[in-house]
Structure 1
Amino acid sequence: MKFTQIKLALCAGLAAASLMTQPTLAAEYPHKTVKLITHSSPGGGTDVFLRELVKHLSPIMGVTFAVENVRGGAGAKAVAHLANSPADGSIFYGTTPSYINTSLLSKPEKTYEDLDPVVNLFQDPQIVFVRADSPYKTLKDVIEDAKKRPNQVRVGVSTPGSLDRQVMEQLKAETSAEMTIITHDGGGDVMLSVLNGTANVGIGEIAELRGQIDAGKIRLITSYTNQRLKQFPDVPTAKEQGINLVVRKFRGIAGPKGLPKNVVAAWESGIQKVLEAPDFKAWYEKDALVPDYMSQEEYKKFTAEFAEGQKAFFQKYGITTD
């Protein structure tokens, strides 16, 4: 009897010791509050993405997240704010191609090279949309009208350095259709421009459009994807309409340069877990976000290659922010 009691006590002690030697993310992370900044306006794609992410990531990492909109300079102000912040794991930035494009096109004080990529989460399909009562049913309708009425069709995009602005320049070059491009502070503002008639057409992402899609206020007419989105099987791709455009927009996290290894490791672990969280998965699948996890090492390589590709693209099409 005594031997059994001793054995049970020993097992219990070993179990407790095992738990003590397996620290949680909360124990490892050096801050209880972490700020996530975005250049996007409230309601824009990155703003929506970050605010939904933190709901599910907070209990996993054991920290409280605060999302802050730092607007101005097509993302340059947000990048400079992060680059000048301490590299201690207390502040990060929601990345999209815009922060690279703005760096290349406008030569700001701080660029993407002054930040450290941390992790990537998604590829986010680009969507062409119109107001529900618009006469445009397809992207071909838009192009045909633009050819009949040069520069009379107004297309809303987000910042001057955004991927959607870049796509419009490529579309104009591919189709010889002249359209007026209207830039905004973010996707939420693009949607409002389409709704109030300032823009005839907009480019955006499902997450920022979801409310107006469900309300029947806007209509999707094209996706810049290889295949139709399973969530919107009736929306044709640009390729199906004879326009060879496929867009790859990433969504990830960057931090100030020189982040500690334990901070990066905590983010890599936390993001992998949140991508598998059922509630978060239900949200991002509904909004057509495609999981594309990259560790810091992978994301650094991807970012460098993407930037080189953008440089070549801008030179080919003569794109500037003017």
Structure 2
Amino acid sequence: MVVLKNIVVSVSMSVLASTAFAQEYPAKDVTLIVPWSAGGGTDTIARSLVADAQECFGENINVVNKTGAVGAVGMGAVTTARNDGYTVGLITFNLSTYGPLGQADLSYRDYDLIQLINQSPGALSVAADSEFETLDDLMTYSKENPGVVTMGHSGTGGAWHLSAALLAAEHEASFNYVPFDGSANVRTALLGKHVAVAATGIDEMKQLLEAGEVRILAVNARERADAFPDVPTVAEAGYALEAPIYDWRGLAAPKGLDPEVKTAIVKGFKACFESDAFQSLAKERGLPLTYKDPAEFETFLAELETGLAAVISDLGLGK
């Protein structure tokens, strides 16, 4: 009986300690791991989201960039961090393609999902003084000169690589794809004339477009982007796609969070997402926001993974 009593007391103390920990969460700053380079679209979204974290989350959230291996270094670091709620990761589209491409042993199943932040359409852009005035100019030249046109993108198997590759495959064009570590580096390469075309998220080109440094040939989506009313869709430009590929970004934590801590994290990040400052900044930068809670996010990722596996196989990019 004494042994049983001690076990009950021990279990009770453990439960009380866990509850107390959850109730005081967050009690210190939180680290947000971003798997892409500083200055890129993903990094900008992350920093904008947590800019007012003290107010909407209760503590500061510090962004740490861990780049490499098409995002797998940073996203992998999240899975091996302590599951105490003080490390969260920004996960991206590449997580949906690591398995089909054989790039990394990572998937959404390795995390406690927090929320979807946005879905972005891709775009093809050229320097303002490029010889390619329209998407038709670009596609026609690439058909007549296979593999000559260099196209920068933010990583093999990423949304913008697959988006452009699908467009080329369906319309019998041919590009020389050049991978970079994040879209910030793609933009730099385009302006430096190291690549002829940039495949990025359309929102990632907004500032350069407004500065007159680039021309966006088309948005790879079914509808024009609200923030870019003058940019035609690929269909309007004469190169329709049945199912354009969209990028996504979301938040996840190491698997095995205390349920009450997870509830607090979900609530805190949703408050950051809904803040006037983040919503206004997203509108200013042309970033299309899409919120999904953990359950909705999981359903979205499961369905996307299945669809992308088929696309990757059809393009001959699979493992």
TM-score of the pair, normalised by structure 2: 0.86
Provide the secondary structure at the position in 2 that maps to 1:282.
helix
Question: What CA distance in whole angstroms lies between the structure 1 residues aligned with 2:27 and 2:126?
Answer: 44
1:27, distance to aligned residue in structure 2 (A): 6.4
The alignment partner of 1:86 has SS state of coil
User: For residues 317 and 204 of structure 2, what CA distance do their matches in structure 1 show?
Assistant: 26
Q: Which amino acid aligns with 1:57?
A: A
Distance 2:197 2:136 in 1: 12
> For 2:51, what is the secondary structure of its paired residue?
helix
Q: Whole-Å Cα distance in 2 between the matches of residues 232 and 163 of structure 1?
A: 20
Q: What amino acid sits opposite 1:266 in the alignment?
A: A
2:199 equivalent to 1:203: yes
Q: Secondary structure at the match of 1:170?
A: helix
Report 1:97-176 matches (<5 A). Answer: 97-176=93-172
1:312 aligns with 2:310: yes
Deviation at 1:190, TM superposition (A): 0.6
Contact 2:122–2:163 (CA under 8 A) maintained in structure 1: no
CA distance 1:160–1:286, change in 2 (3 Å) = same
For structure 2, the 5+ residue unaligned runs are: 1-21
Q: 2:202 & 2:311 partners in 1: Cα distance?
A: 26
Deviation at 1:118, TM superposition (A): 1.4
How do 1:55-70 and structure 2 match up within 5 A?
Answer: 55-70=51-66
Structure 2 partner of 1:279: 277
CA distance in structure 2 between the partners assigned to 1:320 and 1:196 by the alignment:
32
Unaligned 5+ residue runs, structure 1?
Answer: 1-25
The RMSD of aligned alpha carbons is 2.0
Report how far residue 277 of structure 1 moved: 2.2
SS at match of 1:125: strand
Distance 2:23 2:135 in 1: 52
Partner SS for 1:210: helix
Contact 2:118/2:249 (8 A) holds in 1: yes
- Counterpart Cα distance in 1 of 2:220 and 2:310: 21
Q: Determine the structure 2 residue equivalent to 1:94.
A: 90
Change (3 A) 1:89 1:134: same
Which range is displaced more, 42-51 or 29-38? Answer: 29-38
Counterpart of 1:193 in structure 2 is 189
Cα deviation for residue 293 of structure 1 reads: 1.0
Secondary structure at the counterpart of residue 249 of structure 1: strand
C-alpha change, 1:232 and 1:110, in structure 2 (3 Å) is closer
Task: Tell me, yes or no, if the aligned pair for 1:31 and 1:90 is still in contact at 8 Å.
Answer: no
Aligned: 1:41 with 2:37: yes
TM-score for both structures, normalised by structure 1: 0.86
Residues in 1 aligned to 2:103 and 2:224: alpha-carbon distance in whole angstroms: 37
Q: How does 1:196-235 map to 2 (within 5 A)?
A: 196-235=192-231
- Partner Cα distance (2:259, 2:33) in 1: 21
Q: Specify whether residues 107 and 126 from structure 1 end up closer, same or farther in structure 2 by C-alpha distance, changes over 3 A only.
A: closer
The 1-side partners of 2:107 and 2:269 are apart by 25
The answer to whether 1:77 aligns with 2:77 is no
- Listed as ranges, the matches of 1:4-15 within 5 Å are none
Q: CA deviation at 1:296?
A: 0.6
Question: What is the deviation of 1:137?
Answer: 2.3
Aligned residues of 1:48 and 1:207 also touching (Cα < 8 A) = no
Decide whether aligned partners of structure 1 residues 37 and 133 sit closer, same or farther in structure 2, where only a CA change above 3 A counts: same
1:143-166 Cα distance to aligned partner (Å, 9 max, x none): 011012111111111011211111
Hey, what's the Cα distance between the residues in 2 that align with 1:154 and 1:29? 49
Q: 1:252 aligned to 2:240?
A: no
1:79 is displaced (CA, Å) by: 2.2
- In the alignment, is the contact (CA less than 8 A) between 2:218 and 2:231 conserved in 1? yes
Secondary structure of the residue aligned to 1:67 is strand
